[in-house]
Amino acid sequence: MNLFHAIILGVVEGVTEFLPISSTGHMILISTILRIPQTEFAKTFEIVIQLGAIMAVAWIYMKTLLTKRVLWRTLIAAFIPTSIIGFIAYKTVKQFLLGNPMVTVIALGLGGVAFYLIEYFLKNRTLKTITMEKITISQAILIGFGQSVSIIPGVSRAAASIFTGMIAGLSRQTAVEFSFLLAIPTMVAASVLDIMKSKPFIDGRLFLPVIVGTAVAFVIATITVKLFLKYVQHHTFLPFAIYRIVLALGFWYFLLR
């Protein structure tokens, strides 16, 4: 992996981490197109640069996190199911799912269909929770279990948490913002766990691509989060559902068939 690869993957991570289209899935697909070998380092790189995107959210929501401490109760409640399931499934995911283009394509396509149906059935539903401070512990736990499905590459952590939140009664914008904040403990824990378990495969000469990729992800994610918040105020997620389906079909046709 060279610096060009690191910059491209950083841009992809920054754009896709908080959209319901799977950042990991896109990095796997882009890596396939760029012919980047799926070594242990490459897999770790794809996880670690997510910290750049997470730092962007922490920066944007710093005041909220410091002043609205009630949010930490629900964030912790949502994080617990994901952390337990993620820790148990870590080895299986790293060995058999992460870096597998076919798994990614299937998850992207089926996820797109599922999200289209969810949007259709929820379009006339009366909302119960319109601010993050009103989220209950039970709603948070449900979102945590929903988010845990995203250990499968291509599902999308953002999509899983956002749509589970909407099913639980959160407004569209509240579900999106809670998903943003839930990414902080989730992805920090995932990155730390992966770094600890991947030390034997990390070459010191490859630190520069990680630093560059993380920095690029931070800048691009900052822009993406602000634009996405404006988008959800007046639009549905149907375009993202259609995009996932088209991307899955296109990738399968051109690269995997």
Read off the pLDDT of residues 59-81 as tens digits, 9 standing for 90 and up. 999 998 888 888 999 999 999 99
DSSP string, 125-179: PPPSB-SGGG--HHHHHHHHHHHHGGGSTTS-HHHHHHHHHHHTTB-HHHHHHHH
Q: Please tell me the predicted confidence (pLDDT) of residue 67.
A: 87
Q: What is the pLDDT of residues 117-143, one digit of tens each?
A: 988 888 777 666 778 888 999 999 999
Instruction: List the one residue out of 229, 215, 216 whose CA is nearest residue 177.
Output: 229
Q: Where are the domains of the chain?
A: 3-256
> pTM here?
0.86
More confident residue, 240 or 36: 240
DSSP state of 131: S
Say if residues 5 and 209 touch (Cβ distance below 8 Å): yes
